[in-house]
Structure 1
Protein backbone atom coordinates (compact mmCIF):
# COMPACT_ATOMS: atom_id res chain seq x y z
CA UNK A 1 0.00 0.00 0.00
CA UNK A 2 1.77 3.17 -1.21
CA UNK A 3 0.75 6.54 0.20
CA UNK A 4 0.77 9.68 -1.95
CA UNK A 5 3.27 11.60 0.18
CA UNK A 6 4.12 15.02 -1.25
CA UNK A 7 7.52 16.35 -0.16
CA UNK A 8 7.45 19.51 -2.30
CA UNK A 9 7.94 22.40 0.07
CA UNK A 10 9.03 20.25 3.05
CA UNK A 11 12.73 20.77 2.34
CA UNK A 12 12.01 24.38 1.45
CA UNK A 13 10.48 24.94 4.87
CA UNK A 14 13.44 23.25 6.52
CA UNK A 15 15.80 25.60 4.69
CA UNK A 16 13.38 28.57 5.08
CA UNK A 17 13.19 29.32 1.36
CA UNK A 18 10.37 29.49 -1.18
CA UNK A 19 9.92 26.34 -3.30
CA UNK A 20 10.36 28.31 -6.54
CA UNK A 21 13.73 29.56 -5.33
CA UNK A 22 14.95 25.99 -5.18
CA UNK A 23 15.78 26.11 -8.90
CA UNK A 24 18.57 28.59 -8.10
CA UNK A 25 20.26 26.41 -5.49
CA UNK A 26 23.80 25.34 -6.36
CA UNK A 27 24.70 21.74 -6.98
CA UNK A 28 26.21 21.11 -3.56
CA UNK A 29 23.05 22.35 -1.89
CA UNK A 30 21.02 20.09 -4.15
CA UNK A 31 22.98 17.15 -2.75
CA UNK A 32 22.02 18.27 0.76
CA UNK A 33 18.37 18.48 -0.29
CA UNK A 34 18.53 14.98 -1.77
CA UNK A 35 19.98 13.65 1.46
CA UNK A 36 17.21 15.35 3.45
CA UNK A 37 14.57 13.71 1.26
CA UNK A 38 16.20 10.32 1.69
CA UNK A 39 16.42 10.92 5.42
CA UNK A 40 12.73 11.84 5.64
CA UNK A 41 11.79 8.72 3.71
CA UNK A 42 13.98 6.41 5.76
CA UNK A 43 12.60 7.77 9.03
CA UNK A 44 9.04 7.06 7.92
CA UNK A 45 7.10 10.17 6.90
CA UNK A 46 3.94 8.56 8.22
CA UNK A 47 5.18 9.21 11.76
CA UNK A 48 5.45 12.94 11.18
CA UNK A 49 1.86 13.82 10.44
CA UNK A 50 0.32 16.69 12.45
CA UNK A 51 -1.21 15.78 15.78
CA UNK A 52 -4.72 16.60 16.96
CA UNK A 53 -6.30 16.78 13.51
CA UNK A 54 -7.71 14.36 10.94
CA UNK A 55 -5.53 14.36 7.86
CA UNK A 56 -6.46 12.85 4.51
CA UNK A 57 -4.49 9.84 3.34
CA UNK A 58 -4.96 8.71 -0.25
CA UNK A 59 -3.50 5.39 -1.31
CA UNK A 60 -2.82 3.79 -4.68
CA UNK A 61 -4.19 0.40 -3.71
CA UNK A 62 -6.74 0.20 -0.92
CA UNK A 63 -9.02 2.49 1.03
CA UNK A 64 -8.50 6.23 1.40
CA UNK A 65 -8.86 7.27 5.02
CA UNK A 66 -8.70 10.00 7.64
CA UNK A 67 -5.89 9.58 10.11
CA UNK A 68 -5.68 11.11 13.58
CA UNK A 69 -2.71 11.14 15.91
CA UNK A 70 -3.29 12.26 19.50
CA UNK A 71 -1.51 15.28 20.89
CA UNK A 72 1.83 14.37 22.46
CA UNK A 73 2.22 11.36 20.14
CA UNK A 74 5.64 12.60 18.95
CA UNK A 75 6.65 13.64 22.43
CA UNK A 76 6.13 10.16 23.86
CA UNK A 77 7.99 8.08 21.31
CA UNK A 78 8.10 5.00 23.51
CA UNK A 79 4.40 4.96 24.35
CA UNK A 80 1.88 2.68 22.66
CA UNK A 81 -1.51 4.27 21.99
CA UNK A 82 -5.01 2.76 21.79
CA UNK A 83 -6.57 2.79 18.31
CA UNK A 84 -10.15 3.24 17.14
CA UNK A 85 -11.29 2.06 13.72
CA UNK A 86 -14.38 4.07 12.72
CA UNK A 87 -16.79 3.02 9.96
CA UNK A 88 -19.09 5.71 8.57
CA UNK A 89 -22.64 5.36 7.26
CA UNK A 90 -24.12 4.96 3.79
CA UNK A 91 -24.28 8.68 3.03
CA UNK A 92 -20.55 9.22 3.42
CA UNK A 93 -19.45 6.76 0.73
CA UNK A 94 -17.55 8.03 -2.31
CA UNK A 95 -14.21 9.67 -3.02
CA UNK A 96 -14.46 12.84 -0.91
CA UNK A 97 -12.89 12.37 2.51
CA UNK A 98 -14.53 15.55 3.77
CA UNK A 99 -17.74 13.52 3.99
CA UNK A 100 -16.17 11.21 6.55
CA UNK A 101 -15.65 14.17 8.89
CA UNK A 102 -19.39 14.85 9.22
CA UNK A 103 -20.20 12.35 11.98
CA UNK A 104 -18.63 10.17 14.61
CA UNK A 105 -15.01 9.83 15.63
CA UNK A 106 -13.49 12.29 13.09
CA UNK A 107 -15.90 14.97 14.31
CA UNK A 108 -15.51 14.34 18.02
CA UNK A 109 -11.73 13.83 17.99
CA UNK A 110 -11.10 17.44 16.98
CA UNK A 111 -13.41 18.91 19.63
CA UNK A 112 -10.88 18.33 22.41
CA UNK A 113 -7.13 18.54 22.86
CA UNK A 114 -7.10 15.35 24.89
CA UNK A 115 -8.61 12.70 22.60
CA UNK A 116 -6.37 9.79 23.61
CA UNK A 117 -6.69 7.48 20.60
CA UNK A 118 -5.09 6.98 17.23
CA UNK A 119 -8.12 7.09 14.93
CA UNK A 120 -8.44 5.49 11.50
CA UNK A 121 -11.57 6.43 9.54
CA UNK A 122 -11.62 4.90 6.04
CA UNK A 123 -14.03 5.80 3.26
CA UNK A 124 -16.12 3.14 1.57
CA UNK A 125 -16.32 3.41 -2.25
CA UNK A 126 -19.72 4.38 -3.65
CA UNK A 127 -20.26 0.94 -5.23
CA UNK A 128 -19.62 -1.03 -2.05
CA UNK A 129 -20.89 -1.42 1.51
CA UNK A 130 -18.79 -2.23 4.56
CA UNK A 131 -20.01 -5.84 5.01
CA UNK A 132 -18.77 -6.74 1.48
CA UNK A 133 -16.05 -9.36 1.66
CA UNK A 134 -13.74 -7.15 -0.41
CA UNK A 135 -14.22 -4.26 2.02
CA UNK A 136 -13.61 -6.53 4.99
CA UNK A 137 -10.28 -7.60 3.52
CA UNK A 138 -9.33 -3.98 2.73
CA UNK A 139 -10.17 -2.94 6.29
CA UNK A 140 -8.00 -5.68 7.74
CA UNK A 141 -5.12 -4.71 5.42
CA UNK A 142 -5.45 -1.05 6.40
CA UNK A 143 -5.55 -1.86 10.09
CA UNK A 144 -2.52 -4.13 9.85
CA UNK A 145 -0.59 -1.45 7.95
CA UNK A 146 -1.26 1.16 10.64
CA UNK A 147 -0.34 -1.32 13.38
CA UNK A 148 2.96 -2.05 11.62
CA UNK A 149 3.91 1.60 11.14
CA UNK A 150 2.71 3.38 14.27
CA UNK A 151 2.96 3.06 18.02
CA UNK A 152 -0.25 1.09 18.43
CA UNK A 153 -1.15 -0.83 21.56
CA UNK A 154 -2.21 -4.12 19.98
CA UNK A 155 -4.13 -5.06 23.12
CA UNK A 156 -6.32 -1.93 22.88
CA UNK A 157 -7.73 -1.80 19.36
CA UNK A 158 -11.41 -0.89 19.15
CA UNK A 159 -14.00 -0.81 16.37
CA UNK A 160 -17.12 1.28 16.06
CA UNK A 161 -19.47 2.35 13.30
CA UNK A 162 -22.87 3.88 12.64
CA UNK A 163 -25.73 2.67 10.43
CA UNK A 164 -23.99 0.92 7.50
CA UNK A 165 -20.88 1.22 9.65
CA UNK A 166 -22.77 -0.54 12.43
CA UNK A 167 -23.37 -3.45 10.08
CA UNK A 168 -19.71 -3.29 9.07
CA UNK A 169 -18.69 -3.36 12.72
CA UNK A 170 -20.66 -6.55 13.33
CA UNK A 171 -19.26 -8.11 10.14
CA UNK A 172 -15.60 -7.30 10.79
CA UNK A 173 -15.92 -8.26 14.45
CA UNK A 174 -17.32 -11.62 13.35
CA UNK A 175 -14.57 -12.01 10.77
CA UNK A 176 -11.68 -11.15 13.10
CA UNK A 177 -12.71 -11.04 16.78
CA UNK A 178 -9.07 -11.62 17.71
CA UNK A 179 -8.15 -8.12 16.56
CA UNK A 180 -10.38 -6.15 18.91
CA UNK A 181 -10.47 -5.39 22.60
CA UNK A 182 -14.03 -3.98 22.41
CA UNK A 183 -16.66 -2.98 19.86
CA UNK A 184 -19.41 -0.34 19.62
CA UNK A 185 -21.95 -0.93 16.81
CA UNK A 186 -24.50 1.89 16.55
CA UNK A 187 -27.88 1.59 14.78
CA UNK A 188 -26.68 -1.39 12.77
CA UNK A 189 -27.26 -5.12 12.72
CA UNK A 190 -26.09 -8.38 11.24
CA UNK A 191 -26.33 -9.11 7.54
CA UNK A 192 -28.38 -12.21 6.61
CA UNK A 193 -26.39 -15.38 7.10
CA UNK A 194 -23.71 -13.70 9.24
CA UNK A 195 -21.67 -16.39 10.92
CA UNK A 196 -21.02 -15.48 14.55
CA UNK A 197 -17.94 -17.30 15.88
CA UNK A 198 -17.97 -18.51 19.46
CA UNK A 199 -14.80 -16.50 20.16
CA UNK A 200 -16.77 -13.27 19.78
CA UNK A 201 -18.12 -13.86 23.28
CA UNK A 202 -14.75 -12.79 24.66
CA UNK A 203 -15.02 -9.29 23.12
CA UNK A 204 -16.93 -6.69 25.18
CA UNK A 205 -19.63 -5.09 23.01
CA UNK A 206 -21.76 -2.02 23.71
CA UNK A 207 -24.71 -1.64 21.31
CA UNK A 208 -26.71 1.59 20.77
CA UNK A 209 -29.95 2.19 18.88
CA UNK A 210 -32.85 4.64 18.67
CA UNK A 211 -36.30 3.36 19.61
CA UNK A 212 -37.97 5.35 16.81
CA UNK A 213 -35.45 4.47 14.09
CA UNK A 214 -37.36 3.99 10.82
CA UNK A 215 -34.22 3.50 8.69
CA UNK A 216 -32.77 0.58 10.63
CA UNK A 217 -35.32 -0.73 13.15
CA UNK A 218 -34.02 -1.34 16.67
CA UNK A 219 -34.88 -5.01 16.23
CA UNK A 220 -31.80 -5.31 13.99
CA UNK A 221 -29.56 -4.54 16.96
CA UNK A 222 -31.70 -6.52 19.36
CA UNK A 223 -31.38 -9.69 17.27
CA UNK A 224 -27.61 -9.39 17.51
CA UNK A 225 -27.76 -8.72 21.24
CA UNK A 226 -29.82 -11.87 21.75
CA UNK A 227 -27.44 -13.90 19.61
CA UNK A 228 -24.44 -12.79 21.68
CA UNK A 229 -26.30 -13.40 24.93
CA UNK A 230 -27.11 -16.95 23.80
CA UNK A 231 -23.41 -17.81 23.54
CA UNK A 232 -22.60 -16.19 26.88
CA UNK A 233 -21.04 -13.05 25.44
CA UNK A 234 -20.09 -9.81 27.18
CA UNK A 235 -22.66 -7.38 25.79
CA UNK A 236 -24.62 -4.34 26.93
CA UNK A 237 -27.41 -2.55 25.08
CA UNK A 238 -28.51 1.08 25.27
CA UNK A 239 -31.83 2.00 23.64
CA UNK A 240 -32.70 5.69 23.33
CA UNK A 241 -36.54 5.49 23.41
CA UNK A 242 -37.14 8.85 21.70
CA UNK A 243 -34.24 8.78 19.21
CA UNK A 244 -34.69 8.30 15.48
CA UNK A 245 -31.91 7.04 13.22
CA UNK A 246 -29.35 9.41 14.71
CA UNK A 247 -28.43 7.54 17.84
CA UNK A 248 -24.75 8.24 17.21
CA UNK A 249 -24.43 11.94 18.11
CA UNK A 250 -25.24 11.54 21.80
CA UNK A 251 -23.27 8.31 21.90
CA UNK A 252 -20.03 9.73 20.53
CA UNK A 253 -20.40 12.90 22.63
CA UNK A 254 -20.60 10.87 25.84
CA UNK A 255 -17.26 10.70 27.68
CA UNK A 256 -18.42 7.49 29.36
CA UNK A 257 -18.08 5.70 26.03
CA UNK A 258 -14.33 6.37 25.83
CA UNK A 259 -13.81 5.54 29.49
CA UNK A 260 -15.58 2.24 28.85
CA UNK A 261 -13.42 1.50 25.82
CA UNK A 262 -10.19 2.25 27.68
CA UNK A 263 -11.27 0.00 30.53
CA UNK A 264 -11.00 -2.97 28.17
CA UNK A 265 -7.91 -4.56 26.73
CA UNK A 266 -7.18 -8.02 25.41
CA UNK A 267 -4.92 -8.51 28.43
CA UNK A 268 -7.76 -8.19 30.93
Structure 2
Protein backbone atom coordinates (compact mmCIF):
# COMPACT_ATOMS: atom_id res chain seq x y z
CA UNK A 1 0.00 0.00 0.00
CA UNK A 2 2.80 2.39 0.94
CA UNK A 3 4.60 1.62 -2.34
CA UNK A 4 1.41 2.37 -4.29
CA UNK A 5 0.96 5.70 -2.50
CA UNK A 6 4.59 6.64 -3.09
CA UNK A 7 4.27 5.73 -6.76
CA UNK A 8 1.13 7.86 -7.15
CA UNK A 9 2.81 10.76 -5.38
CA UNK A 10 5.77 10.46 -7.75
CA UNK A 11 3.49 10.50 -10.78
CA UNK A 12 1.65 13.52 -9.38
CA UNK A 13 4.91 15.35 -8.76
CA UNK A 14 6.16 14.64 -12.27
CA UNK A 15 2.89 15.65 -13.95
CA UNK A 16 2.57 18.77 -11.79
CA UNK A 17 6.15 19.77 -12.56
CA UNK A 18 5.50 19.27 -16.27
CA UNK A 19 2.38 21.45 -16.11
CA UNK A 20 4.18 24.11 -14.11
CA UNK A 21 7.01 24.16 -16.63
CA UNK A 22 4.69 24.65 -19.58
CA UNK A 23 2.77 27.30 -17.66
CA UNK A 24 5.82 29.53 -18.10
CA UNK A 25 4.59 29.98 -21.67
CA UNK A 26 2.12 32.85 -21.45
CA UNK A 27 -1.17 32.47 -23.35
CA UNK A 28 -1.81 35.16 -25.96
CA UNK A 29 -4.16 35.88 -28.86
CA UNK A 30 -3.23 37.68 -32.06
CA UNK A 31 -6.43 39.19 -33.45
CA UNK A 32 -6.90 40.57 -36.93
CA UNK A 33 -10.49 41.56 -37.64
CA UNK A 34 -12.61 38.46 -37.05
CA UNK A 35 -9.63 36.09 -37.17
CA UNK A 36 -7.56 34.93 -34.20
CA UNK A 37 -4.23 33.14 -33.99
CA UNK A 38 -3.64 31.67 -30.55
CA UNK A 39 -0.06 31.41 -29.37
CA UNK A 40 2.09 30.75 -26.33
CA UNK A 41 5.12 32.87 -25.59
CA UNK A 42 8.06 32.20 -23.31
CA UNK A 43 10.08 35.22 -22.19
CA UNK A 44 13.62 34.92 -20.84
CA UNK A 45 14.02 34.84 -17.09
CA UNK A 46 14.48 38.38 -15.77
CA UNK A 47 13.20 39.77 -19.06
CA UNK A 48 14.29 43.37 -19.56
CA UNK A 49 12.46 45.33 -22.26
CA UNK A 50 15.45 47.66 -22.62
CA UNK A 51 17.59 44.78 -23.89
CA UNK A 52 17.43 42.95 -27.22
CA UNK A 53 16.70 39.23 -27.44
CA UNK A 54 16.69 36.53 -30.13
CA UNK A 55 13.29 35.10 -31.11
CA UNK A 56 12.40 31.54 -32.08
CA UNK A 57 9.10 30.69 -33.76
CA UNK A 58 8.18 27.01 -33.47
CA UNK A 59 5.53 25.44 -35.73
CA UNK A 60 3.77 22.31 -34.50
CA UNK A 61 2.46 19.32 -36.44
CA UNK A 62 -1.09 18.49 -37.54
CA UNK A 63 -1.82 16.47 -34.41
CA UNK A 64 -1.50 19.57 -32.27
CA UNK A 65 -3.97 21.72 -34.18
CA UNK A 66 -6.95 23.19 -32.33
CA UNK A 67 -8.02 26.19 -30.31
CA UNK A 68 -7.05 25.17 -26.76
CA UNK A 69 -3.75 27.10 -26.93
CA UNK A 70 -2.06 24.15 -25.22
CA UNK A 71 -1.50 21.21 -27.56
CA UNK A 72 1.08 23.06 -29.65
CA UNK A 73 3.53 22.72 -26.75
CA UNK A 74 3.35 18.90 -26.82
CA UNK A 75 6.50 18.44 -28.89
CA UNK A 76 9.32 20.91 -28.38
CA UNK A 77 7.84 22.91 -25.54
CA UNK A 78 10.19 21.46 -22.94
CA UNK A 79 13.20 21.87 -25.24
CA UNK A 80 13.31 25.59 -24.40
CA UNK A 81 12.60 25.21 -20.69
CA UNK A 82 15.81 23.54 -19.54
CA UNK A 83 17.97 25.53 -17.16
CA UNK A 84 20.89 25.15 -19.53
CA UNK A 85 18.99 26.66 -22.44
CA UNK A 86 17.51 29.53 -20.46
CA UNK A 87 20.86 30.45 -18.95
CA UNK A 88 22.89 30.06 -22.14
CA UNK A 89 20.42 31.53 -24.63
CA UNK A 90 18.07 34.13 -23.13
CA UNK A 91 15.46 33.97 -25.87
CA UNK A 92 11.82 34.72 -26.62
CA UNK A 93 10.09 31.56 -27.89
CA UNK A 94 6.72 31.65 -29.66
CA UNK A 95 4.48 28.62 -30.32
CA UNK A 96 1.51 29.62 -32.51
CA UNK A 97 -1.40 27.17 -32.87
CA UNK A 98 -2.94 26.32 -36.23
CA UNK A 99 -6.71 25.90 -36.37
CA UNK A 100 -8.08 22.35 -36.42
CA UNK A 101 -9.40 22.47 -39.96
CA UNK A 102 -6.44 24.20 -41.58
CA UNK A 103 -2.74 23.89 -42.38
CA UNK A 104 0.42 25.99 -42.13
CA UNK A 105 1.50 25.41 -45.72
CA UNK A 106 0.02 25.53 -49.19
CA UNK A 107 -0.28 21.80 -49.78
CA UNK A 108 -3.00 19.56 -51.17
CA UNK A 109 -3.51 16.35 -49.20
CA UNK A 110 -5.32 13.28 -50.48
CA UNK A 111 -5.82 10.05 -48.61
CA UNK A 112 -6.00 6.80 -50.53
CA UNK A 113 -6.35 3.46 -48.73
CA UNK A 114 -5.22 5.04 -45.46
CA UNK A 115 -2.13 6.62 -47.04
CA UNK A 116 -1.70 10.39 -47.28
CA UNK A 117 -0.28 11.95 -50.43
CA UNK A 118 1.07 15.51 -50.45
CA UNK A 119 1.20 17.89 -53.41
CA UNK A 120 3.09 21.05 -52.48
CA UNK A 121 2.11 24.22 -54.28
CA UNK A 122 4.34 26.83 -55.90
CA UNK A 123 3.36 30.36 -54.91
CA UNK A 124 -0.31 31.08 -54.26
CA UNK A 125 -1.99 32.82 -51.37
CA UNK A 126 -1.08 31.72 -47.84
CA UNK A 127 -3.55 29.74 -45.77
CA UNK A 128 -5.43 31.73 -43.12
CA UNK A 129 -3.21 30.48 -40.25
CA UNK A 130 -0.06 31.29 -42.25
CA UNK A 131 -1.38 34.73 -43.17
CA UNK A 132 -2.00 35.45 -39.49
CA UNK A 133 1.42 34.07 -38.56
CA UNK A 134 3.08 36.32 -41.15
CA UNK A 135 1.38 39.37 -39.64
CA UNK A 136 2.28 38.29 -36.11
CA UNK A 137 5.89 37.76 -37.18
CA UNK A 138 6.12 41.16 -38.87
CA UNK A 139 4.62 42.90 -35.87
CA UNK A 140 6.64 41.05 -33.25
CA UNK A 141 10.08 41.32 -34.82
CA UNK A 142 9.64 45.09 -34.93
CA UNK A 143 9.39 45.28 -31.16
CA UNK A 144 12.21 47.31 -29.62
CA UNK A 145 13.38 44.36 -27.49
CA UNK A 146 13.89 42.00 -30.46
CA UNK A 147 17.31 41.39 -31.98
CA UNK A 148 16.38 41.45 -35.67
CA UNK A 149 19.62 39.78 -36.64
CA UNK A 150 18.73 36.70 -34.58
CA UNK A 151 15.21 35.62 -35.54
CA UNK A 152 14.73 31.89 -36.14
CA UNK A 153 12.01 29.42 -37.13
CA UNK A 154 11.65 25.67 -36.91
CA UNK A 155 8.97 23.03 -36.92
CA UNK A 156 8.01 19.41 -37.33
CA UNK A 157 5.84 17.54 -39.83
CA UNK A 158 3.12 20.03 -40.86
CA UNK A 159 5.26 22.59 -39.02
CA UNK A 160 8.32 21.52 -41.02
CA UNK A 161 6.31 22.24 -44.14
CA UNK A 162 5.23 25.53 -42.59
CA UNK A 163 8.86 26.38 -41.89
CA UNK A 164 9.74 26.20 -45.58
CA UNK A 165 6.56 28.15 -46.34
CA UNK A 166 7.32 31.06 -44.03
CA UNK A 167 10.95 31.15 -45.19
CA UNK A 168 9.87 31.73 -48.77
CA UNK A 169 7.29 34.32 -47.77
CA UNK A 170 9.66 36.24 -45.48
CA UNK A 171 13.00 35.82 -47.21
CA UNK A 172 14.81 38.51 -45.20
CA UNK A 173 13.44 37.83 -41.72
CA UNK A 174 15.16 34.67 -40.51
CA UNK A 175 18.81 34.12 -39.62
CA UNK A 176 18.48 30.29 -39.69
CA UNK A 177 15.87 27.55 -39.58
CA UNK A 178 15.37 23.85 -38.95
CA UNK A 179 12.74 21.61 -40.49
CA UNK A 180 11.88 18.14 -39.22
CA UNK A 181 10.07 15.64 -41.48
CA UNK A 182 8.64 18.40 -43.66
CA UNK A 183 8.51 19.13 -47.38
CA UNK A 184 8.01 21.75 -50.06
CA UNK A 185 7.71 22.22 -53.81
CA UNK A 186 11.34 22.40 -54.98
CA UNK A 187 10.44 25.35 -57.23
CA UNK A 188 10.12 27.39 -54.02
CA UNK A 189 13.58 26.51 -52.73
CA UNK A 190 15.48 29.30 -54.48
CA UNK A 191 13.52 31.85 -52.43
CA UNK A 192 15.16 30.71 -49.18
CA UNK A 193 18.43 29.37 -50.56
CA UNK A 194 20.51 31.83 -48.56
CA UNK A 195 19.00 30.92 -45.17
CA UNK A 196 21.15 28.44 -43.18
CA UNK A 197 19.07 25.26 -42.83
CA UNK A 198 19.24 22.04 -40.87
CA UNK A 199 16.89 19.43 -42.34
CA UNK A 200 15.93 16.25 -40.46
CA UNK A 201 13.97 13.17 -41.46
CA UNK A 202 13.46 9.55 -40.43
CA UNK A 203 14.38 7.04 -43.13
CA UNK A 204 11.40 4.84 -42.20
CA UNK A 205 8.88 7.70 -42.21
CA UNK A 206 5.61 6.32 -43.59
CA UNK A 207 3.62 9.53 -43.09
CA UNK A 208 5.75 12.17 -44.84
CA UNK A 209 8.21 10.53 -47.21
CA UNK A 210 11.89 11.33 -46.54
CA UNK A 211 12.20 11.98 -50.27
CA UNK A 212 10.59 15.40 -49.71
CA UNK A 213 13.42 16.50 -47.42
CA UNK A 214 16.04 15.00 -49.70
CA UNK A 215 14.60 16.85 -52.71
CA UNK A 216 15.01 20.17 -50.90
CA UNK A 217 18.54 19.28 -49.81
CA UNK A 218 19.45 18.26 -53.37
CA UNK A 219 17.95 21.43 -54.85
CA UNK A 220 19.89 23.62 -52.42
CA UNK A 221 23.08 21.81 -53.40
CA UNK A 222 22.30 22.46 -57.07
CA UNK A 223 21.97 26.14 -56.19
CA UNK A 224 25.43 26.09 -54.65
CA UNK A 225 24.53 25.79 -50.96
CA UNK A 226 25.36 23.19 -48.34
CA UNK A 227 22.50 22.78 -45.81
CA UNK A 228 22.88 20.46 -42.85
CA UNK A 229 20.97 17.25 -43.58
CA UNK A 230 20.40 14.45 -41.08
CA UNK A 231 18.62 11.17 -41.78
CA UNK A 232 17.89 8.85 -38.87
CA UNK A 233 18.10 5.28 -40.23
CA UNK A 234 15.77 3.72 -37.66
CA UNK A 235 13.33 6.58 -37.13
CA UNK A 236 9.77 6.70 -38.43
CA UNK A 237 7.69 9.88 -38.47
CA UNK A 238 8.62 10.94 -34.93
CA UNK A 239 12.16 11.87 -35.95
CA UNK A 240 11.69 15.02 -33.86
CA UNK A 241 12.65 12.99 -30.79
CA UNK A 242 16.09 12.36 -32.31
CA UNK A 243 16.37 15.92 -33.63
CA UNK A 244 15.58 17.43 -30.22
CA UNK A 245 18.26 15.19 -28.71
CA UNK A 246 20.94 16.60 -31.03
CA UNK A 247 23.38 18.40 -28.73
CA UNK A 248 24.38 20.79 -31.50
CA UNK A 249 20.91 21.78 -32.70
CA UNK A 250 20.44 24.88 -30.55
CA UNK A 251 24.13 25.92 -30.51
CA UNK A 252 24.11 25.70 -34.32
CA UNK A 253 20.84 27.65 -34.58
CA UNK A 254 22.02 30.54 -32.40
CA UNK A 255 25.44 30.63 -34.04
CA UNK A 256 23.78 32.11 -37.12
CA UNK A 257 22.89 35.76 -37.46
CA UNK A 258 22.13 38.11 -40.31
Q: TM-score range by the shorter chain?
A: 0.7 to 0.9
Whose strand proportion is higher, 1 or 2? 2
| Unaligned runs of at least 5 residues, structure 2 | 1-21, 107-125
| Unaligned runs of at least 5 residues, structure 1 | 1-50
Aligned-residue offset at 1:214: 0.8
Alignment equivalent of 2:241, drawn from 239, 249, 259: 249
- Say what the alpha-carbon RMSD is for the aligned residues: 2.0
Q: Does 1:88 align with 2:88?
A: no
TM-score norm. by structure 2 comes to 0.76
**Distance in 2 (alpha carbons) for counterparts of 1:70 and 1:255:** 21
Whose helix proportion is higher, 1 or 2? 1
Aligned-residue offset at 1:79: 2.4
Aligned residues: 211
Q: Does 1:169 align with 2:141?
A: no
**Distance in 1 (alpha carbons) for counterparts of 2:100 and 2:187:** 23
Alignment of 1:65-144 (within 5 A): 65-74=39-48, 77-104=49-76, 106-112=77-83, 113-114=86-87, 115-132=89-106, 133=126, 134-144=128-138
Report the equivalent of 1:54: 25
Report the equivalent of 1:41: none
The answer (yes or no) to whether the contact 1:202–1:234 under 8 Å persists in 2 is no
In the TM superposition, what whole-angstrom CA distance separates every residue of 1:194-232 from its partner, at most 9, and x where no partner exists? 52335x222110001111111111111001111111111
Structure 1 pair 204–171 and aligned structure 2 pair: CA distance change class (3 A): same
Runs ≥4 in structure 1, deviation > 4 angstroms? none
Report the equivalent of 1:26: none
**Distance in 2 (alpha carbons) for counterparts of 1:139 and 1:84:** 13
**Distance in 2 (alpha carbons) for counterparts of 1:257 and 1:193:** 24
Aligned-residue offset at 1:146: 1.7
Report the equivalent of 1:196: 189
- Tell which structure's C-alpha radius of gyration is larger: 1
The answer (yes or no) to whether the contact 1:129–1:135 under 8 Å persists in 2 is yes
